[in-house]
Chain A
């Protein structure tokens, strides 16, 4: 033969036992999945709003409306939020957009994989593509919302600083953290719908423990909880970069980002090795 044939072996042994081989195939599948991920991303984006009148506006209508409600409630002195460094409407809208991006990323892996069940159980394609597609979609939707943020920054005359250059890193970290947690939960979530339900409910609860609509509280019992929340440093730093140019929680930001990267790798390995088992349990 003119070329050596690629040999693929399927056996019951754990793939983790030949870790080097696993790493190599993870890498090659990641490379191989780029093209497919791009294709699926285009497919999802073009299909997402095709059967809709308002189309892409749906990317920022929900965060805009929730923000308006918070702004209204605060203006009526129902919330009593402490003073923020930038006008409260700008503060809330930026916060809500960032929070929405985080929860999008959190839900994305389980959602994309669940939607592709039929494909997963029929075709052998690099499974990484689904996750990459999910990330791409989250970033795309953020990009639309970013227009809203830019508009708000200009409207409220927030001064332009070098922090704007760091803000994209903050957004990536938020997306990374969300994707990582979502991906860790995906194998179990494919088997049990409890995960999806808990995720929906947990996200709501976490919202109130994250300084989205209020600034980081000073010393109090709640402040400790809020501090332990990994989303806090990422969201607060990113908003700081956008609004005032320097981040107040930079060390927390670095810690959480580093941990995210390590756990992301763990989640990826788990996702890969569990997939054949999950398919045999969920496929018809």
Chain B
């Protein structure tokens, strides 16, 4: 039954307090209110309080995966803790159906002095497995975590990556109806991440998943719907994953566009498709697949050597996703005049729709493949938004010529 609702969240809010002393005192008050059978908790904000989660609603069915996204401190973890029943909502109602599994922090409850073998049993019982169940799954766990050699080593001698692997291996044995995952895959190496994702893929059909991550490629790969929150408030909820991710990207505080200059050069103007990007930090918008033209007006401050130019596109997570290098086209530049123009044109921009920064570097050319000094460098010379209907999980979307034969 794919239409059964396993998670139903209606208008849930949660307050937090900025001051420790007050927070503790409010804690005493809240407990007292429970004891004297107050129907509701204190519904209004008290002094120094704010809404960590405010009026959030969503539903999740079996087989669906909700990507929960938002900047740090948006309230994602608080929401997960409420879903997991660790903390109580101050307003609203949460209804969870079936067995609930949570990967909020892996290996919580590990005792550093005990061996991996002992900790598997402890961690398993913490997660609700019976002794026989763990015994039966023991080999699978050890196998998954790849810790055979260290099975009788105290966990305190494990690297943090190994601890996480062990934690996930135990947790991966759960077959919950609802699975809550809080950014646990960020640690661990690539092969282990791949393993975790395939394990999640295996159970995804029978499970309703809530998945928290800052990695948008991962989110767009696994999520069937998006809940994007910022400062506790819902920015977006729905099945339109690209729009959800876009709403998240607008919340991110990223590099400020900075003016470009160095001892060698000063940039007087920077245009992308005729939009001046430097002067008033304008955001250049280009539709996916359309041409891209970047023009720089440069003034040299001293005699400059021969140089090459590199333009890079940096995504919202500070990853370089594509670059254009003049040497690749066999070109270098040398200018005698004080001001000059330098431009680069792309036939079509194939970047996945989203926000990017344009990084500019001018590098001294010493012949062959040798690089000299960096003459000019700016990490965020301009901001570029690529618009488009489709948002993929890869940074570059190639356009192919497709064929189909009988």
Contacts and interface: CB of A to CB of B under 8 A. Distances in A.
A116 B108 CA distance: 9
B109 A1 contact: no
B33 A14 contact: yes
A50 interface: yes
Nearest to B52: A280
Given A8-B100, A10-B89, A35-B131, A273 B31 contact: yes
Given A8-B97, A14-B33, A35-B131, 10 more contacts: A1-B1, A5-B98, A10-B94, A12-B92, A14-B35, A14-B37, A14-B39, A32-B128, A122-B108, A124-B102
A11 B85 contact: no
A116 to B, nearest CB: 8
Nearest to A14: B34
Nearest to A32: B128
A113 to B, nearest CB: 14
B299 interface: no
Contacts of B38: 14
A64 to B, nearest CB: 26
Interface of A: 1, 5-17, 32, 35-36, 39-40, 43, 46-47, 50-51, 116, 118-125, 187-188, 191-192, 270, 273-274, 276-281, 283
B111 interface: yes
Contact of B94 (A9, A51, A123, A274): A9
Interface stretch (B22-30, B215-223, B281-289, B384-392): B22-30
B61 interface: no
B131 A277 contact: no
A43 B27 contact: no
Q: Is the interface of A mostly helix, strand, loop or mixed?
A: helix
Contact of B122 (A7, A43, A270): A43
A278 B31 CA distance: 8
A35 B14 contact: no
A22 to B, nearest CB: 11
B370 interface: no
B82 interface: yes
Nearest to A275: B86
A2 to B, nearest CB: 11
A180 B286 CA distance: 69
B105 interface: yes
Contacts of B93: 9-11
Contacts of A13: 39-40
B24 A192 contact: yes
